Structure 1
Amino acid sequence: MESGAKKTIYTAENIYFFRHALLRDAAYQLQLPGDRARLHGLAFEVIDPPEPSPLDAVDLSPVTRHAADASAEELAGHALQAADGGDSGMARERFRGLHRLYLRRAAERMDRGYRHESACVAWQTFAEFVAGSERGEALRRAGMAAHSRGKLKEAEELVSRSVAIHRQEANRRLEGMALGYLAGIYRDTGRVGQAQRAYEEALAIHRDAGDRRSEGRALGSLVGVYWETGRMQEACSVAEQALATLQEFGDRRLEGIALGNLANLYQHMGRIEQAETAFEQALALHHDAGDPRAEGLVMGNLGILCQRTGRSERAECVYERALALHREVGNRRDEGITLVNLGGLFVDLERYEDAERAYRQALAIHRDVGNRRSEGIALCCLAVLCQKTERSEEARSTFDQALIIHREVGDRRSEGVALGNLANHFRDTGRTEEAEHAYALALDIHRKVGDKRFEGAELCDQAVFHLSQRRVKEARDGWRSGAAILQALGDSFELRRKTDEMREACARAGVAPLDGDLA
């Protein structure tokens, strides 16, 4: 044996378990196919509780939770094996129905446990055993699981198939639901025009069907599209319509979601007191409804508000509370996202070691759950931190990693943001031509995806670059254009931050502030 090689130790217990497994498998293989099927049927009856789940539970509505759900994956496997070799046609059909039932129960349990990769596979498997609108809905759920993992291309393909099936089946209600979810994928990948058209088509379907609840949800989804494209009054009006519509049903969870959306809009518009009030109301609704997952999401957004209004101590406490809620329910995806936001707070406070720790924890989570989109965003944040801490080579390589992921998943918006940050890196390291090119690419993407906020911020950053090149007229023109966009959006926090950076750059260049003669 080679020196240093690890020696395997065989205990009596290990030997016993190995022999037992070997004999058990041999005994199973010696059974005739029909006998094996009966054994699986017996195993199913032993595991399934005395009060069985209703056999008609496989429909389009959510399945009621049942004691058997903990064993749903195992039960689905036994039912399939029993169906393959049952004694009679009636028995085989019964076990096929039970296989479908428990396969769906297993998929829903995976969703509840945030096992998105397993859920995506389970829903697609379930779709193979059903037809029509039920198959369409299973594919939508598979797409939702893929989306939660940041697999945007896979999610789009699955949800597009769902829309096509519901359209073919003339199931307008489910077509509208799937179309609305597809619109969200378009928005996440920077195709704001397509997103708006899909949301508006879904909204028309819900109104035509008289489905007020889904109408309220679709209205809420349109809010973000209108805000991103600079249509602030429309965004505010639609957000208030969505809230009023959903309040009709007395569903505290849906009302809380609508209030959270309205609070985010108020925050972006600089209406801070209204935003904070709406966030607190949304938190109370989710708490009363016993929905810690939604409570954690709102808490994370409240943390952003506190951070943007300079209340750093409270922001940290709120982020920590959001993290505790995400961990309580096992929501690792949003735990990772919140850690990135907490890392951003630490960067603002120049607590760079804490920031790096938070970013790396987030990266580990995103990689573990397979959330590629959020992994790319976290890498971009880490790259900016490397730049701030004078690790130029590491910053560049980390930006490159982020860009590879953004392009892989088709996230154009985040690609534009990463290119803008890379342009700042080139600017600060004296790589003039590369900075010029990266700013142009970033602005082109922001304009193509219709993201007004990042277009405004990018123009302000580019103005600082032009100042460093003594191109004062270009700097002033670009600054005014960018500042006007941020002002129109009501984003006072970002405008204030960019103004401070611009004035520092003007002082270094020995020129008057670019906003000096603005009213």
Structure 2
Amino acid sequence: MASVEDIYLFRHAVYRDVAYELQLPSERSQLHTAAISIAEQFFTNELHLVAAELATHAHRAQQGASAELLDQLAQTEFKYLLMQLEHEFQRAQWQTVTDIAAHARTCAGYNEAKHGKVCQMQARALENMGRRLEAESTWLEIAEHGKEVNNSEDVVAGLCGAGLCRIVLGRHDEAAEVFASAKAYAGGNTALRAQVLMDMSMLSNNQGDFAEHERLLFEALQLIGDADSKLKTGIRGNIANMYANTNRRPKAIRELVKLLAEFEELGDTRGVATANANLGRQLMLEGDFEQAIGHLERAIELATEIGIQRSVAFALANLAEIKLRTGDLDTGRVSAEQACALADEQGLPLYHAAYTCTLAMSHLLVGHETLANELVENARAEFVSV
């Protein structure tokens, strides 16, 4: 077990300064290798918390390492980069995710078998920052790599991801083409077919064919059965959104209440936070402000706890709307400002534009028409730019 002194040295990266006093190896490569060993002993159950440091130590240890250790250290570097990537992805730190993914792909120990996984996190991060063209390119890269290694799951994920990007970019015919290809690659795989149907439904939704949107979602739900619980939850979440978007809020609320209970039973904090935020919005739109506030505040608490700033911003923006509707204009303005700041900080232009409109309303309600108009124009320009 690592000593307290060892842990102190690891956390403060001062091995080279005290190597001689502690009679530790003085070769830099050996010092970094020793740091990895100490951390792996002490942080056995929390390695994700020090993954970034471990990846750095593994990278630096490769400089001057013996030939027999070089490959092992390169693989160790990639292992901890991947761990850090997954941790930051769960925390919705999108810019950090793209930076780590780009670095991981240049790592000497890069594992091609994990290419699809790394690129999917990178693509989703790019989407969440509004960088749709880059995301589309990354999704297509995933699909091509999947074809090369005969991985139908990556092919379908890549094609569907590109299709969803094209929908947002308004290229509906091109989206339909890649969805058709994805459907062909899915073949008889039930989970993949359900995934394609769920994503295809978004095209119908954006084209205003709400009946087809609903039909595809329920076909996907029936097809999946209990074969893939995570995908099934995703489909049900989309069904709840579909109800909300077609003014069937009571149905949306009932579905969200069920999903919230399931997430709580599973101990899925991220799911609980997201469900609370979405449920809070629907309750607000139904006029049940008291319950809405409770769910939105719970969403903020949980999302802050696990670092999902996107959900914090969403809940704050909805709280701002409630405050504006109930006459608490100062609090509403402050909440809207906080939501805008978080969206800007996280690199989420679409969300920032939406929250800017809420902020504009807060100024309009106190007679600041010129400022409100400026904010609306800024929001419009931001929407168009993405």
TM-score w.r.t. the length of structure 2 is 0.83
Instruction: Specify the alignment match of 2:277 in structure 1.
Output: 300
2:179–2:200 CA contact under 8 A, matched in 1: yes
Q: Tell me, in whole angstroms, the C-alpha distance in 1 between the residues paired with 2:94 and 2:182.
A: 26
Three-state SS of the structure 2 residue aligned to 1:49 is: helix
RMSD: 3.1
- Partner AA of 1:362 in structure 2: A
1:101 equivalent in structure 2: 79
Q: Amino acid of the residue matched to residue 353 of structure 2? A: G
Instruction: Check the 8 A contact 2:119/2:142 in 1, yes or no.
Output: yes
The amino acid that maps onto 1:115 is Q
Report if the CA contact (8 A) 1:255-1:285 is conserved. Answer: no
The aligned counterpart of 2:227 is 249
In 2: Cα distance, 1:232 partner to 1:389 partner: 38
Superposed CA offset, 1:67-102 (max 9, x none): 432222122122222223112x22111111211211
**C-alpha contact (below 8 Å) 1:127/1:134 kept by paired residues:** no
Q: Which residue of 2 aligns with 1:378?
A: 355
Offset at residue 331 of structure 1 (A): 1.1
**Structure 2 CA distance for aligned equivalents of residues 112 and 267 of structure 1:** 26
Larger Rg: 1
Give, in whole Å, the separation in 1 of the partners of 2:272 and 2:326.
Answer: 26
Change (3 A) 1:152 1:230: closer
**Which string of whole-angstrom CA distances, capped at 9 and with x for unpartnered residues, describes residues 401-450 of structure 1?**
22343343x2xxxxxxxxxxxxxxxxxxxxxxxxxxxxxxxxxxxxxxxx
SS at match of 2:71: helix
Is the contact between residue 273 and residue 303 of structure 2 (CA under 8 Å) also seen in structure 1? yes
Q: Partner of 2:287: helix, strand, or coil?
A: coil
2:152 matches 1:172? yes
Is the CA contact 2:226–2:232 (under 8 Å) kept in the aligned structure 1? no
Q: 1:26 to 1:317 in 2, by over 3 A?
A: closer
Partner of 1:160: 140
> Alpha-carbon deviation of 1:248?
2.1
Whether 1:45 aligns to 2:22 is: no
Match of 1:70 in 2: 49
Deviations 1:19-59 (A, max 9, x none): x999956989xxxxx9222222222222222898xxxxxxx
The percentage of counterpart residues that share the same residue type is 21
Following superposition, the deviation at residue 131 of structure 1 comes to 6.2
1:289 aligns with 2:266: yes
2:377 to 396, 400, 411: 400
**Relative to 1, partners in 2 of residues 1:247 and 1:313: Cα closer, same or farther, differing over 3 Å?**
same
1:44–1:394 Cα change, 3 Å: same
Structure 2 unmatched runs, 5+: 1-11, 21-25
CA distance in 2, matches of 1:231, 1:125: 42
Deviation at 1:121, TM superposition (A): 0.9
Cα separation, partners in 2 of 1:205 and 1:266, compared to 1, 3 Å? same
Aligned length: 369
Match of 1:226 in 2: 204
Q: Is the 8 A contact 1:219 1:241 kept in 2?
A: yes
Partner of 2:267, secondary structure, is coil
Determine if contact 2:277/2:314 at 8 Å carries over to the other structure: no
Partner of 2:5: none
Q: Which of 59, 63, 70 is 1:84 aligned to?
A: 63
Residue 269 of structure 1: which of 246, 250, 263 is its match?
246
C-alpha deviation, 1:393, in angstroms = 1.9
